Structures are given as C-alpha cells and as structure tokens.
Amino acid sequence: VRDYRSEWKIEVNQPVAGNYYPINLGIYVEDGSKELSILVDRSVGGSSIKDGQIELMLHRRLLNDDGRGVAEALDEKVCLDDQCEGLVIEGKYYLKIDPQGDGARWRRTFGQELYSPLLLAFAEKDGGNWGNSHVSSFSGMDPTYSLPENVALLTLEELEDGSVLLRLAHLYEAGEHKDLSAPASVDLKRVFPDKKIGKIIETSLSANQERAAMEKKRLKWKVAGPPPKENVVRGGPLDPSKLVVELAPMEIRTFVINFDHRLAAHPM
C-alpha cells in the first residue's frame, strides 16, 4: 500500500525511497478485474510508484556519490586483462495475468517450484545386478495420501540421536485466496504409515527448546497506551492419539519425532 505504515501515520518526503520494499518472492498489482504478477529469481527492490505500474530494481549503479555515507560512487566494475567495465547483473522474471483473486495460487505454487525445487541425485551403476541388491523405488508417505495444496514440507531430517526433525508450513496469508487461505491439517499417521510414533514434541522454530517452555519465557513488553488488538490465529495443540497437525495461515510448526523402532515396519 503506497504511502502507508500500519504502526504510525507517515509523512512522505521521499515518495520513491519511502515506498521501496524488498521483493523476495514476487509482486503484483490489481485493477478490480485482473492481477498482474511477477516472480523474481533473487531478492530485489520493488515498488508501484504510480497506479498501474510495477518497478523492480535489479541492480543499483551510481556514477556520483549519493551522500549516504560511503564517500564513493556505487560504481562496481569487473576488470579482465586491464579492461574494466561496469558490473552487469542479469535476472529472470516470471510474469502471469490472472482474473482477480486467482493469482495467489500461481504465485505460491509456482513460487515453491522456483525456490524449493526437487533436487534429483543419481548414482552410477557399478557392475553386478544392482537392482536386485538395492531398493530401487520407495515411498515414505502413504501412496493414497498427499499433503494439502496449501502446505509445504520444509524439513524432514534425521538427527544424531535417531529422532526426526519435521517442519510444516502453511503457504498462504489470511484472506490471500478464497479457498487456500483456510486452515489446513496434516495427518502424521499417513505421512509415516510404516512407522509407530512413540513420542512427538513441538518445539520452537529453531528446534532448540520445547514450544511450551519457550512460551513461558516469552518477553512481555510494557507499552504506552492500550494494548494492540491481536487477531492471530494458530493451529491447536497436537493430540498425541490423533497425530493431526493443524496449520493456520502463514504458520510454521516444528516437531521432533521419536519412532518406536520395535514396532516399525522399516527403519528410518
């Protein structure tokens, strides 16, 4: 929103600098019937200084000192064999036009493919009948189950003590999409169908302390005036018997899982 700050009434003296924002995923504008979305391949500066326009700054280069404290012009050069030229940056932009309200699905879904692509790794076959001595196909999740479209698996990592670190994220903001901004649920029994979960602990985002302990130590700031009205929605506590994780819009939840290997069909 141009010339706006949610925390205070802003007095705009520099309309360009005051409305530039870091663009990490993308930017879009809408006119009541259509949405024009642009996704970027790296963090850039961006804004909409005038209605109907999108402006992205891929590379900032100045030939004169702008008086911001570094005492030199922002004029980076690349030199090869004593030949110096101004640094040139190239990027990729992905553009799409959608009906009003439909662009969020493309921005989130295609954005995940851009920034979290599936990495394929291959091993060279070294003689013998490799297929008979190795598992050539495997599915860790119930083949009849898929994560909800608005949920991403951020982390699935085995830790040194044999436990597993799991992070799940809701991809959409509240009100961003008419359907996909709704709370989502993930059934861990179907995510790990061949394993028996013996113990599961919800932790802080960095997984260095239990969530319950973290919330007890949370700082409470003294502020002037009435406390702000918070309308934050979060998923409910995890029921250890049902093992269903609830995710509210934009929520990331982190768990450390210990499997009961005596009852598991396959080792991790």
Listing DSSP states for 120-171 in one string gives P------SS-HHHHS-----SS-TT----TTEEEEEEEE-TTS-EEEEEEE-
Q: By percentage, how much of the chain surpasses pLDDT 90?
A: 60
For residue range 208-218, list pLDDT tens digits in order.
999 999 999 98
Average pLDDT rounded to a whole number, residues 84-103: 91
What pLDDT was estimated at residue 262? 62
Question: What is the structure's pLDDT at 6?
Answer: 84
pLDDT at 89 over 70: yes
pLDDT at 127: 66
Q: Which CATH class is domain 151-215+234-259?
A: mainly beta
Q: 156 pLDDT band (50/70/90 cuts)? A: very high
Per-residue pLDDT of 116-139, as tens digits, reads: 888 888 777 766 677 777 777 767
Sequence length of the chain is: 268
Mean pLDDT, range 45-52, rounded to an integer? 93
Q: Domain ranges for the chain, please list them.
A: 1-59+85-116, 151-215+234-259
Residue matched to tokens 């705009």: 12
Sign for the pseudo-dihedral over CA of 129, 133, 139, 144: positive
What is the overall mean pLDDT for the chain? 89
Model confidence at 8, pLDDT cuts 50, 70, 90, reads confident
Model-wide pTM > 0.85? no
Burial class (CB in 10 A: 0-12, 13-18, 19+), 107: buried
- Tell me the per-residue pLDDT of 190-236, one tens digit each, with 9 for 90 and over: 999 988 999 999 999 999 999 999 999 988 888 887 777 777 889 99
Query: One-letter amino acid identity for 147?
Result: L
Q: How far from 109 is each of 73, 115, 172, 181, CA to CA, in Å?
A: 40, 10, 10, 13
Which of 63, 58, 61, 54 is closest to 29 using CA atoms? 54
CA distances from 33 to 36, 39, 99, 154 (A): 10, 20, 6, 34
DSSP 119: P
Confidence at 263, pLDDT banded by 50, 70, 90: low
The residue-averaged pLDDT of 241-251 equals 96
